[in-house]
Chain A
């Protein structure tokens, strides 16, 4: 079946360190992936996306890596800041023309002072 899952439900990092959040997906036909950040009381906020014809994409302080061979997605946050504390979700699109995202269960990132 189609599913997106995260390896670690919680992650604690020291301020200034790099964070790596992982995600596994099972639908090899998925060709578009997004990372969202959700802070308490807010809706998910777009961070970065990647298409399946790419292995890596960089944004401001964030990098997404896609390994299609093992169906694995990761989000790297450089120089993690207190404002990065949130729940991070990976999501994949599983239909061809809609907005039906399948979300992973989420990883809570806690940034320690």
Chain B
């Protein structure tokens, strides 16, 4: 069974640009969550999607957005990139439609903003 797949693995962007990251969850998983990981802030929750609907959102500015498709694949978009957006962006999927179950993480997309 394939794990969570994130593409691309590495990305370099310039300030002011926008970026789109992709996540393919484990087959059968309908919940997809996104996290930002930085050395200073650790792992922080961005948002969660379930059945194409955003179910939960963390404390990030509106420049961070996402969506989920009917096949559960998800994308997140960051517009007007800032240097501080440089981070490892992690996607996690889970099987159940309620919480309290383990989330399986992908290897992440390393975004560098220059």
Q: Give the A interface residue count (CB, 8 A).
A: 27
A71 at interface (Cβ–Cβ under 8 A)?
Answer: no
Q: B68 to nearest A CB, angstroms?
A: 13
Q: Are A100 and B56 in contact (CB under 8 A)?
A: yes
Chain B, interface SS category: strand
How would residues 80 to 113 of chain A score, 1 for a CB under 8 Å from any chain B CB and 0 otherwise?
Answer: 0000000001010101111111111110000000
A43-B4, A95-B99, A96-B99 as given contacts; A101 in contact with B45, CB under 8 Å: yes
**A96 to B56 CA separation, bound complex (whole angstroms):** 11
A15 at interface (Cβ–Cβ under 8 A)?
Answer: no
Q: B87 to nearest A CB, angstroms?
A: 13
Please choose the segment from A16-24, A45-53, A62-70 that sits at the chain B interface, where 4 or more of its residues have CB less than 8 A away. Answer: A45-53
**A95 to B45 CA separation, bound complex (whole angstroms):** 12
**A43 to B109 CA separation, bound complex (whole angstroms):** 10
Q: Are A98 and B102 in contact (CB under 8 A)?
A: no
A89-B43, A100-B56 as given contacts; A41 in contact with B33, CB under 8 Å: no
Known: A98-B50, A99-B92, A100-B45. 16 other contacts (CB 8 A): A34-B102, A36-B105, A42-B107, A43-B106, A95-B56, A98-B33, A98-B99, A99-B31, A99-B56, A99-B99, A100-B33, A100-B99, A101-B35, A101-B43, A101-B103, A106-B42
Interface residue ranges, A against B (CB under 8 Å): 31-32, 34, 36, 41-46, 49, 51, 89, 91, 93, 95-106
